[in-house]
Amino acid sequence: MNIHKNAGKLAPKSTLINVPELISAYYTRFPDISLENEKVSFGTSGHRGSALLTSFNETHIFAVTQAVCDYRKKANLDGYLFMGMDTHALSYPAQLTALQVLSANGVKVYIAKNFGYTPTPVISHAILTHNKNSTSQCDGIIITPSHNPPSDGGFKYNPPHGGPADTDITDWIQNRANEIMKNNLLDVQKFTLEEALKSENIQQYDYITPYVEDLQNVLDMEAIAKSGIFIGADAMGGAGMEYYSAIKERYNLNMEVFNNTLDSTFSFMHCDKDGKIRMDCSSAYAMAGLITMKDKYDIAFGNDTDFDRHGIVTKSVGLMDPNHYLSVAINYLAQNRPLWRADLGIGKTLVSSSMIDRVANSLNKKVIEVPVGFKWFVDGLIKGDIFFGGEESAGASFLRKDGTVWSTDKDGIIMTLLSAEILATTGKDAGEHYKELTQKFGAPIYARIDAPANAEQRTILKKLSPKDVKETMLAGEPIEAILTNASGNNAPIGGLKVVAQNGWFALRPSGTEAIYKIYAESFIDEAHLKQIQTEAQEMVGKLF
């Protein structure tokens, strides 16, 4: 896509959202259930939308929260519901709406003290910690649209396993919510806000202390502190603002925390490549402010708004490509966690870099390759079959030092602090470690591009089988594998992956836009990558 003139620049004041207008729209606009884009729609990360587009309004939250309550009854869940929210302007009103419904349905809810903000991984950690020693099963709701623009809102549900709900649950909640909206909310049980806030079902809870105290069981916090390295922690105005300050104090870290006050316009952000404000910690445009500060700190990092993703900025390379950091993290953890079982595998999404496979092979570790979505790592992390699960979009989690589960959702906090541990214990930052990996295994070039596809074409791409591809060569090399199901768990990938010795591509149709995505990687050079991308589009052209 074309790069916007404001990309990498501080957001012009004229582009900032009007917060009062947005919140007013949340309460005064009502969705038309006959319009698809105004229904509740759970994607891979819950329901998202904007009040200004009538896709995230009070009506939606009344309906989807009642649907969650109905699901809990159906699933016989009677434990606490842990609720978190991020700093998007719509998150607080949505939490108040949800509390009206949850309290009226008799659901006991833990919210942050003083209506504070709670990162996604902290909710996962709380669910797992409680359920480990209790017969009553807890679950959670996180109100966040992740790194999406400031005008957006989001609503995610995590069942008792602590990770993202699978489609059998989200489809049920989505369909029930739309049925409730179609019935003019008659099935919604709700208190007034005043009644809800006085209800004994709503309890304020200290999420910060147990999570921060437990970090020493997943990371070498002592080594980080003793090293004295100067850390820059960009809270990016997100849900973990108070967490970095608490971590600094608890572990006596030489860390500067900034952008840690509430600003729901996110006026401190630099524009993403399309000129929009987007708290994408993997984007060099959005992270331009922190990148310019790289030489001030020994290591620096930031997180998206709900703190489930990480962005690592090193002196050696600046902002690390997410795939590069995943490779370094896996290589380091496999060799620096002596209590882990030798047979633990590595979870990766099928569009993540093959550098991970080469690193894993050198460590004699099995790679479990799954479709896109962190939900595919939940079972492996809980059972202790994998020590790491990572996505190419800068989301990952890993096990505690003793080999037991830490979180089953992406945890941007442990991933950023891991970069400090790596520097503290090895004397080299993650960028330097990645350079060493390329000297051993080659230097891959990775890219994602989008190509146009109408609804009919996207349906075709979703239902492909390996026999639909007639080609035997990819960019001058024999094709070694054609996959429409992930090799790690045989789950449908909703697209196609074609693999050769020194390159691969994967196709995935968008669920919301008239495009399909081409992920590709070459271990040879840029020209080879472009050849892979060209041949991928030619293959697709023959399928329509």
List average pLDDT for each run of 10 residues in the chain, which is 544 residues long: 91 96 98 96 89 98 98 97 98 98 98 97 98 93 97 98 96 97 98 97 98 98 98 98 98 98 97 96 97 98 98 98 98 98 97 97 97 96 96 96 98 98 98 98 95 91 93 97 96 95 94 87 97 95 88
Sequence letter at residue 5: K
Give the CATH number of domain 210-441; options: 3.30.210.10, 1.20.1530.20, 3.40.50.1220, 3.40.120.10.
3.40.120.10
Q: Report the SS3 class of residue 134.
A: coil
Compute CA distances 188 → 22, 100, 107, whole Å. Answer: 24, 10, 14
**Count of beta carbons in the 10 Å neighbourhood of residue 415:** 28
- Cα atoms in the Cβ-side hemisphere of radius 13 Å centred on 340: 26
What pLDDT shows up at residue 513? 78
Distance separating alpha carbons of residues 202 and 218, to the nearest angstrom: 31
CB-based contacts of 400: which residues, under 8 Å, 6+ apart? 217, 218, 406
State the Cα–Cα distance between residues 157 and 63, nearest whole angstrom.
14
Q: Is 539 helix (H, G, I), strand (E, B) or coil?
A: helix
For residue 514, what pLDDT is reported? 86
* Cross-sheet strand order for the sheet of 139-143: 42-43, 46-50, 152-158, 139-143, 81-85, 109-112, 202-205
- Cα dist. 45→21, 148, 411 in Å? 26, 11, 14
Q: Tell me whether residue 146 is one of the annotated catalytic residues.
A: yes
In whole angstroms, give the CA distance from residue 62 to residue 49: 15
Q: Domain segments of the chain: what residues?
A: 13-206, 210-441, 445-543
* Three-state SS letters, 294-326: HHHCCEEEEECCCCCCEEEEECCCEECCHHHHH
Q: Which residues neighbour 299 within 8 Å (Cβ) at sequence distance 6 or greater?
A: 229, 231, 232, 312, 313, 314, 315, 419, 420, 423, 429, 430
Tell me what pLDDT residue 511 has. Answer: 73
CATH architecture type of domain 13-206:
3-Layer(aba) Sandwich (3.40)
Same fold for the domain at 210-441 and the one at 445-543?
Answer: no
- Residues 146, 151, 282, 283: which is the catalytic one? 146
Check if the beta carbon of residue 93 is closer than 8 Å to that of residue 24: no
CATH superfamily, with its number, for domain 445-543: Alpha-D-phosphohexomutase, C-terminal domain (3.30.310.50)
Residue 187, pLDDT score: 98
Euclidean distance between CA atoms 35 and 374, whole angstroms = 30
- Separation of alpha carbons 307 and 238, rounded Å: 7
CA-nearest of 511, 515, 497 to 370 is: 497
DSSP-assigned states of every residue in 175-240: HHHHHHHHTTTTT-----HHHHHH-TTEEEE--HHHHHHHGGGTS-HHHHHHHT--EEEE-TTSTT
Residue 489 and residue 434: Cα distance in Å, rounded?
A: 28
